[in-house]
Amino acid sequence: MIAGHFGFAAAVKAKAPRAPLWALMLASVWMDVIFVPLFAAGIEPIEKVAGTRGGYGEGIIHADYTHSLVGALVIAVTFGLVCAIWWRRSVAVVLAAVVFSHWLLDLPMHRADMPLLPGNAGTLPLLGFGLWRSAVASALLELALVLGGTFLYARAAAKVARTPEDAKRARTLTFALAGAGLVTLALNLAGQ
């Protein structure tokens, strides 16, 4: 899920206007950003679900460090502490919360592959409600996040715009967010 996380970031921007949009978007996928090199190194592999091609939602993701509950909290706090070097504490707290929102939004989607402790220490029960078993339901949830987030962002950006140029930029960003979200979602679904 990428589009849904970006949709959520756009929605947060409407409520926390001090936080830069690029930082919110980066924060919303920061756990995946850390996951990519670990995946490439074979530390956090993805296993295709038996009988599938491993497309959209058809993978069991062994992201035992980045997507564990404690791992996600550590990553979120670290991200917030780094942001707090330059930005207000309130902005850093929002960004840390957005980093952790990734875990919360992944929870209903994943197929019981998210551990509580890093490395699945103690082999405790794995979490994930498995909405990815239904591509349509997953796509609808992502679509709601994209459209809802874009709507909230567009309303906030229109309010803050002072000049016609600002209003034009706000419209451009609204179309870019909605368009990119829909294209990403379509690509995800086409790849299944």
* Chain residues in the site for another protein (CB under 8 A): 2, 13, 17-23, 25-26, 29, 36, 86-88, 91, 157, 160-162, 166, 169-170, 172-173, 176-177, 180, 184, 187
Q: How far is the CB of 64 from another protein (least distance, A)?
A: 21
Contact of 98 with 24, CB cutoff 8 Å: yes
* CA-closest candidate to residue 88, choices 153, 17, 160: 17
The residue whose two tokens read 């794995």 is 126
Nearer to another protein, 18 or 155 (CB): 18
**Separation between Cα atoms, residue 114 and residue 107, nearest integer Å:** 8
**Separation between Cα atoms, residue 36 and residue 158, nearest integer Å:** 36
Nearer to another protein, 57 or 115 (CB): 57
Nearer to another protein, 140 or 158 (CB): 158
Nearer to another protein, 20 or 118 (CB): 20
Q: How far is the CB of 113 from another protein (least distance, A)?
A: 19
Q: How far is the CB of 160 from another protein (least distance, A)?
A: 6
Q: How far is the CB of 151 from another protein (least distance, A)?
A: 16
Q: Which two tokens stand for residue 127?
A: 């979490």
Q: What is the DSSP letter of 127?
A: B
Nearer to another protein, 26 or 127 (CB): 26
Contact of 5 with 102, CB cutoff 8 Å: yes
Please state, as a whole number, how many other Cβ atoms lie within 10 Å of the Cβ of residue 7: 29
Nearer to another protein, 107 or 173 (CB): 173
Q: How far is the CB of 70 from another protein (least distance, A)?
A: 26
Q: How far is the CB of 7 from another protein (least distance, A)?
A: 13
**Separation between Cα atoms, residue 27 and residue 168, nearest integer Å:** 26
**Separation between Cα atoms, residue 192 and residue 185, nearest integer Å:** 11
**Separation between Cα atoms, residue 36 and residue 21, nearest integer Å:** 22
